[in-house]
Every structure is written in C-alpha cells, then in structure tokens.
C-alpha cells in the first residue's frame, strides 16, 4: 500500500524507491521504526542525531523525515526551521512523548505532515509516511519542471527576456517594438529565438511557462 512493491520479502533495493529517514537518539526506537518500514518494503535510514543526518548526502528520491521533537542538541522544531532556512524541504513527521499544543501548532504551521504522540499505532505512522512521500514526490516533480524552465530562461539574453515578458503579457509585436524602442522586425527575430530557446511549441505554451516562472504580472493585453 505504501509503495507499489510487495511487502513481505525485503526485495532488492532500487535507486528509485523512496526513503524514510529517522532521527532519534534512542536506538530501540530507531530499530522499531526501521523494522516497521522495512516490513512494508520501504527503504529506511536511521540516525542518532540531526548532525549525522546532515552528514549524509541528500537522497535524490522522494523521501521524508521522522523526527523526535526532543533531539540531543537542538529541538526538533529548531531543526525543522534550520532545514527550511537551508532550503531543504523534506516533509517531516514529528513524534513526541511529552509534547504540548503550542509545539504542535508551530510544527504544523511550519508545514509538518503529522505530529504523532507516543505511543502511536503503526498504521498511523504508515499513513503519515505515505502522505509525506506523496507530498515530496509532487514537490520534486514541480521543482524539476521549474528547474528546467529556469535553465532555459537563463539562456535568454536580457533583451529576449524583456521581449518574452511583454509578449506573454499580451502585447503585439508592434506594441513591444514601440515599448522598447526598436523596429518590429527586431521583435520578431527575438521572439523566434525565444521560442527556440525555451522549446515552446506555441504561444500558449510560452504563456504557461511565463506563468510558472512568475514572469509578467501584467493583467491585460493588446487592444486592436
């Protein structure tokens, strides 16, 4: 249910399979969780501290993080904040033996997937992990699309970017030309170059790309 693969025999590890990371200073907790996740065919990597987790090279597959709110050095909440500040957006599931409501609120506001109180039912943890992995998969997919678009956009010259902004805002070539003070033919040539570099198959395609890139918040367009 959690992955698409058979649960019972720990099948061959696949580089595409999601990973569950566990951070807890209690070895017995780490073992119990590892066993739980392995029993449903999920790859699991456990750490005794936040520091160790950071040493580990970031996995390039959908993953999530199980975190005890009470960590050796810094609190789970602070670690969550640090990850966010560092641009690491792995979904987090908190566990706690004696947490309180303000902690819970802070964690959830900061985007935590769930906040489980010990002892919790295995199924609750597995459900949370499923949600977290799905969320990460979506996030990664979107990030990938965005990265590709940004890479393409980076190959545009300043002038081409300017033209792309105005064209996707709905201005006609003639209007773009007047706006930036060049001849219409020049705009056409820039435009062709933009379509090629961005690999846009049509103007609507380019408009959608601009939307994803957050370009040109202008409202309207051209009047005839």
Q: Binds 130, which of a copy of itself, DNA, none (CB < 5 to 8 A, cut-off by type)? A: none
Interaction partner, residue 9 (a copy of itself, DNA, none; CB < 5-8 Å by kind): none
3-state secondary structure of 206: helix
Q: Quote the CA–CA distance of 98 and 68 in Å, as a whole number.
A: 10
Q: Which residues bind a copy of itself (CB under 8 A)?
A: 96, 99-102, 104-105, 108-109, 114-115, 117, 167-172, 200-205, 207-208, 211, 220-223
Among DNA, a copy of itself, none, the one that 68 touches (CB under a kind-dependent 5 to 8 A) is none
Return the ∠ at Cα 124 (arms to 120 and 126), rounded to 5°.
120
Calpha distance 114→162 (Å, rounded): 44
Q: Return all residues near 84 (Cβ < 8 A) that are at least 6 apart.
A: 110, 111
Q: Which stretch binds DNA (CB under 7 A): 6-14, 32-40, 180-188, 209-217?
A: 180-188
Indicate whether 208 belongs to the interface with DNA (CB under 7 A): no
Cis peptide leading into residue 119 (ω within 30°): yes
Residue 196's CB: how many other CB atoms inside 10 A?
A: 10
CA distances from 123 to 116, 119, 126, 130, 177 (A): 11, 12, 5, 10, 62
- Nearer to DNA (CB atom), residue 24 or residue 160: 160
> What is the DSSP secondary-structure string of 40-87?
TT-EEEEESSHHHHHHSPPPSS-EEEEEESS-SSS-HHHHHHHHHHTT
Total chain residues near DNA (CB under 7 A): 22
Residue 108 interacts with, from a copy of itself, DNA, none (CB under 5-8 Å by kind)? a copy of itself
CA pair distance 65, 44, nearest whole angstrom: 10
- The stretch near DNA (CB under 7 A) out of 15-23, 91-99, 104-112, 151-159 is 151-159
Binder of residue 53, out of DNA, a copy of itself, none (CB less than 5 to 8 A by kind): none
Find the shortest distance in angstroms from Cβ 205 to a copy of itself.
5
Among 159, 207, 208, 216, binds DNA (CB under 7 A): 159
Q: Which listed range, 65-73, 87-95, 140-148, 190-198, lies at the site for DNA (CB under 7 A)?
A: 190-198
Question: What are the residues binding DNA (CB under 7 A)?
Answer: 157-160, 172-174, 177, 180-183, 185-186, 188-192, 195, 203, 224
């Amino acid at each position: 249910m959690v992955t698409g693969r058979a649960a019972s025999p720990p099948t061959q590890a696949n580089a595409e399979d999601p990973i569950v990371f566990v951070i807890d200073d209690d070895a017995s907790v780490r073992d119990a969780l590892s066993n739980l996740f392995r029993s449903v065919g999920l790859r699991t990597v456990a750490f005794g501290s936040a520091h160790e987790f950071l040493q580990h090279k970031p996995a390039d597959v959908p993953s999530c993080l199980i975190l005890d709110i009470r960590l050796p050095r810094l609190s789970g909440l602070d670690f969550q904040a640090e990850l966010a500040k560092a641009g690491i957006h792995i979904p987090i599931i908190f566990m706690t033996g004696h947490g309180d409501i303000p902690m819970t609120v802070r964690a959830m506001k900061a985007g935590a997937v769930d906040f489980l109180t010990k002892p919790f039912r295995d199924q609750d943890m597995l459900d949370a992990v499923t949600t977290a992995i799905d969320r990460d998969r979506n996030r990664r997919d979107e990030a990938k699309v965005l990265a590709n678009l940004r890479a393409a956009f980076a190959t545009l010259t300043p002038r081409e970017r300017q033209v792309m902004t105005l064209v996707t805002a709905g201005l006609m070539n003639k209007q773009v030309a007047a706006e930036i003070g060049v001849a219409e033919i020049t705009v056409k040539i820039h435009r062709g170059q933009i379509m090629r570099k961005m690999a846009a198959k049509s103007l609507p395609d380019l408009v959608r790309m601009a939307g994803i890139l957050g370009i040109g918040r202008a409202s309207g367009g051209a009047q005839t």
